[in-house]
Amino acid sequence: MKKHILVIPGDGIGPEVTTWGKAVLEKIGHDFGHEFTFDEALMGHAGIEATGNPLPDETLAKAKASDAILFGAIGHIKYDNDPSAKVRPEQGLLKIRKELGLYANLRPIMLFDELLDASSLKPEILKGTDILFFRELTGDVYFGEKKRSEDRNTASDLMIYSRYEVERIAIKAYEAAMVRGKRLCSVDKANVLEASRLWREVVQEIAKNYPEVETEHMFIDNAAMQLVKNPKKFDVVLTANLFGDILTDEASQIAGSMGMLASASIGDGTGFFEPIHGSAHDIAGMDKANPLASILSVALMLEISFGLKDEAKLITSAIDKTLKEGYRTGDIADANTDKAKILGTKAMGQKVLEYLAPPNPPR
Amino acid sequence: MKKHILVIPGDGIGPEVTTWGKAVLEKIGHDFGHEFTFDEALMGHAGIEATGNPLPDETLAKAKASDAILFGAIGHIKYDNDPSAKVRPEQGLLKIRKELGLYANLRPIMLFDELLDASSLKPEILKGTDILFFRELTGDVYFGEKKRSEDRNTASDLMIYSRYEVERIAIKAYEAAMVRGKRLCSVDKANVLEASRLWREVVQEIAKNYPEVETEHMFIDNAAMQLVKNPKKFDVVLTANLFGDILTDEASQIAGSMGMLASASIGDGTGFFEPIHGSAHDIAGMDKANPLASILSVALMLEISFGLKDEAKLITSAIDKTLKEGYRTGDIADANTDKAKILGTKAMGQKVLEYLAPPNPPR
Ligand SMILES: CC(C)[C@H](C(=O)O)[C@@H](O)C(=O)O
Ligand SMILES: CC(C)[C@H](C(=O)O)[C@@H](O)C(=O)O
């Protein structure tokens, strides 16, 4: 198989972790005889520094020309505390989502048995949790019109959805539910929001085409609660952009560490793969970041964009093995971790590569 | 002290639980020599059934004429699954918040030691958690203009804030932080939303008047995560209406049970006191609901609206004692609970009344 992959390291710990995602792609390509070619481009704070633009034209052009994108992280503390900044790193991420039509963000919450204890939840509450989030990614209050009054004393954002936007992601979520546990929970705030009432109407309609799937509608406040109370009860969770942003981060913590979770943004064209974690400037460049989410992003890319299930499985097995051998980065270490097995970014990436045994017999 | 209290039982389990809140008020009034008088009114589904209006005019008039309001719960499953319903129970609650200018919703997340095990979080993560939420209650996407296109295919809600709305609640939150742990975390999504950027600007300004308070700004997705990861790190949390709705429900689950948490909505006039839990129609009328949140709402009323700290303290002590003696309603019972001590709503309310010892010497 011949594929061209664009690597966008982004900000903070992004470059450190994507290095290892890319290394894993190279090894898989070599071992399985795939021809993976690579290019690199800037986005976010890195884009602003180099060109003044959080999504440089060149990056967008390269993105459109690639078969898949491996992304690191975005954001810089400097903008966070300056609410009046006009140009912001995050605009790059939002724009590329819109430009590539990446309307569905898939976030699998999977638990590695070895890490059950890393969560703040009791292991008996957690064990068996396996959730696949479908977060809408190109609509909602993220993209609706933003306004500031002339005296700067009033500010607004429009939360807006159209039928087709809900339909297309609902269909993807139901299709996924059909090959999983056949349960789908759609999260909204239909008791208050008109956009949510449209959301619920459309999901109710689509649900009719999937009579085998058990559909539940839940208010966002209740969902945020149920996720802590009984995460096992969820299979596929379908929700809007803003609610999905909140719920998936909450769920990632339930799973023990953000450092272990990857996401796939898909739509009509090129897929976009990234860790759930942010740019973590406080540890950037210190060889402390956990590269496993970036490596798991690569597994998602292989499976979803290229249909390479065996290769994807090999990656998760290698990570499993690394964890079983007791290796941890700082964020997933606990009192029981052998201190000598707490690794930095590089050593952890190296370990996974080691355990990525070539297929037998080699192809 | 002479006070007139309006009881609005509302929907579902509302009537069952407010019965016990009211009974506690009566006993406190009697034992401490306060003259508490009562009236009752309809709201929500109960209001719609009787008058077609979720907030009947009579209820609003009585509310304005009272010194404090004890509210039960709102909502009915019938409307939840009918996104096209024009008249909805929740409109009653939203309207009374707006009409009474109840712009600040205070939700203390307090832990009863006896219930540490009822949470899905590990006790060592939870122990010591003591958070006071300030949720803005009369602005945001809740009250911004709602629109549906003529073809009904597009729906929107306006997320909007004005400077004075942020200022007045920020001041209340900082004042509270000054007499608590002197730490305040303001939660927003300023990396994406213009309304959040205004929010952050204003909080940064107000913060200057409270140099002793350590201020932190956190994105909502991160806050939803940190609350699970390390709830102890929070003292006062200040946030907008929608984010507050989500975070406080999440936090309530962290605390073990919604059935134990009360809230106070305050502003410029009459205060409004209610449990955090909803109408729970599945158990309505079955003598299963936990009345403790309604009783704790009364403690908040006595302290915040009437300045009766001793009386409020007596109530929390009585609840403490009830729990120490091993009594539980179903929602807070666990494997270690003595089955004979699992009580229904009435028996639990009765127990608290029993333990509400009159002051010594009696006044
Ligand atoms: C960085 C930010 C704009 C982004 C979002 O809110 O979508 C991030 O939190 C995410 O979840 O990918
Ligand atoms: C019933 C609903 C309108 C309400 C809200 O969202 O404010 C409730 O969830 C609450 O938190 O009081």
Judge whether B203 and B102 are in contact, CB under 8 Å: no
Q: How far apart are the first and last CA of chain A?
A: 12
Q: Could you report the per-residue pLDDT of B158-175, keeping only the tens digit for each?
A: 999 999 999 999 999 999
Which protein residue has the closest C-alpha to ligand 1 atom 5?
A245
- Domain limits of chain B? 1-110+259-363, 120-254
Say whether B189 is catalytic.
yes
Cα B72 to Cα B22: distance, rounded to the nearest angstrom: 11
- A112-257: CATH superfamily: Isopropylmalate Dehydrogenase (3.40.718.10)
For chains A and B, what is the number of CB pairs under 8 angstroms?
Answer: 198
Give the per-residue pLDDT at B257: 74
Spatial separation of the C-alpha atoms in residues A252 and A231, rounded to whole Å: 11
Tokens standing for residue B174: 């900082």
Atom of ligand 2 nearest to the CA of B105: 12
Decide if A1-100+270-356 and A112-257 have a common fold.
yes
Atom of ligand 1 nearest to the CA of A241: 7
Domain A1-100+270-356 adopts which CATH fold? Isopropylmalate Dehydrogenase (3.40.718)
User: Structure tokens of A110?
Assistant: 């999977």
Name the closest ligand to CA A191. Answer: 2
As a whole number of angstroms, the distance between CA B295 and CA B304 comes to: 14
Q: How far is B254 from chain A (nearest CA, A)?
A: 7
Please state the pTM of the whole predicted model.
0.94
DSSP codes, B41-106: ---THHHHHHHS-SS-HHHHHHHHTSSEEEEEE---HHHHT-TT-SS-HHHHHHHHHHHTT--EEE
DSSP 3-state percent helix, strand, coil across chain A (nearest 5): 45, 20, 30
* Between B83 and B350, residue with greater pLDDT: B350
C-beta B49 within 6 A of ligand 1: no
Angstrom distance (rounded) from CA B303 to CA B19: 20
The whole-angstrom separation of Cα A327 and Cα A341 is: 5
Minimal-distance CA residue to ligand 2 atom 2: B90
Residue-wise pLDDT tens digits, B128-146: 999 999 999 999 999 999 9
Homologous superfamily assigned to B120-254: Isopropylmalate Dehydrogenase (3.40.718.10)
| Mean residue pLDDT across chain B | 95
CATH number at B1-110+259-363: 3.40.718.10
Instruction: Quote the CA–CA distance of B227 and B231 in Å, as a whole number.
Output: 5
Q: How confident is the model at residue B360 (pLDDT cuts 50, 70, 90)?
A: low
Q: How do residues B10-67 score in pLDDT, each as one tens digit?
A: 999 999 999 999 999 999 999 999 999 999 999 999 999 999 999 999 999 999 999 9
* Tens digit of each residue's pLDDT (9 = 90 or more) over B196-244: 999 999 999 999 999 999 999 999 999 999 999 999 999 999 999 999 9
What does the alpha-carbon distance between residue B289 and residue B345 come to, in Å, rounded to a whole number? 5
Contact B250, B244 (CB under 8 A): no
The answer to whether A52 touches A89, Cβ cutoff 8 Å, is no
The C-alpha of A334 sits at a distance from chain B's nearest C-alpha, in angstroms, of: 13
- List, for residues A186-222, the tens digit of each pLDDT value: 999 999 999 999 999 999 999 999 999 999 999 999 9
